Amino acid sequence: MSSPHLPLSRRGLLAAGAGAGAALALAALPAHAGARPFGRYGSPERRRTPQTLYVDPHGRGDFSTVQAAVTAATGSGRTLVLAPGVYRETVALDTTRTEATWIGAAEDPGAVVIAFDHAAGTPKPGGGTYGTTGSATVTAQADGFTARWITFANDWLRADHPDITGTQAVALKVQGDRSAFHDCRFLGHQDTLYADSTALGVFARQYFARCYAEGDVDFVFGRATAVYEHCHFRTLNRTDLATAPYGFVLAPSTAAANPYGYLVSRSRISSEAPDAAYKLGRPWVPSSDTTARPSLVVRDSYLGPGVDAVAPYTDMSDAFPWQNQRFAEYRNSGPGAAISVPENRPQLTAEQAGSATREAYLGDWTPWKEC
């Protein structure tokens, strides 16, 4: 679950400023971290492997930005070791850079932060706007990508930009098959974590272990086959709305041909918003795939009082009611899991639950063995 210093959220980083945010993150590190910015993972002088590159914003690595290291790390099987700090940039890992690994050297996700502040409606220098996909701080398209102990953040705020209506602001868009995230954080407001694939007909498998994601509107969304295990989802308060719902935690857009969408297992949902202010999920049927049949299973998880227990699901579009999609729960607990209106909370049978497992969703790929 979440580490003790997870309250250093994207809001805290924004309020403190990038420099102060970096200082706060560094304060949590062992005393020797300044002398050994790459921890136990070597250094440019003592390279762990020939395929390893070192990134440090203070100039002690091979590169001072993540994107410069990604650009240099061509081919397959490259590892980036990131020293503590705030990397204020956008990063794109294209499909050719397969089997890449990014490691936060401090082994604390609060110490290594990649952050930027584009929203969908942010004007681009050459004209137009970024759109949801273009707003992403980090875009990871390559198959076999693994990240450990890193925070991915988008610190764009609605209150600072009342003139912008496209308020989607993605921290991470991940599209590759066999993409794994261990002990990472995803910080944003709307559309924080975009777990997707590279094309409509591609079923990308993704795994999130002991991760933390926060936001408000559809802040975990997309068409990937994604397993969230031992994760913590936190819904944020909103002062710009007078009434609920404030937002929606999960918004899958699973292709109809894909038997597996989002699986949330042994996780928890907490909230800083009023009780029942949030929906657990809603189906996203995008205009690019009107045949989608979103799939979501939440099982063996704790749902806090921030989740609307009476009506935990709602429609994104009247044309695609949630009841016609593939939404179900199993053995959840907590005030947000109370079943008072059974027809609003479809439950798996024990037999059905036997097929709602990480093994079934991910097939021959077993990333939990790499934890």
Between CA 178 and CA 207 the distance in angstroms is 8
In the numeric block, the tokens 């913590």 are attached to 232
Out of 191, 196, 216, 308, which one is annotated catalytic? 191
Q: How far apart, in whole angstroms, are the C-alpha atoms of residue 104 and residue 150? A: 5
**Burial level of 239, CB count in 10 A (0-12/13-18/19+)?**
exposed
Q: Amino acid identity, residue 188?
A: G
Total residues belonging to the chain: 371
CA distance 281 to 336: 12
Q: Which of 56, 177, 216, 218 is catalytic?
A: 218
Report how far residue 342's alpha carbon sits from residue 322's, in angstroms, rounded to the nearest whole number. Answer: 15
Active site residue 218: yes
Q: Which of 79, 144, 154 is nearest to 69 (CA)?
A: 79
Of the candidates 103, 104, 64, 89, which has an alpha carbon nearest to the alpha carbon of residue 139? 89
CA distance 189 to 306: 16
User: Distance between CA atoms of 161 and 315, rounded to whole angstroms?
Assistant: 27
Task: Give the 3-state secondary structure of 165-219.
Answer: CCCCCCCEEECCCCEEEECCEEECCCCCEEECCCCCCCCCEEEEECCEEEECCCC
300 is an active site residue: no
Name the residues annotated as catalytic. Answer: 191, 218
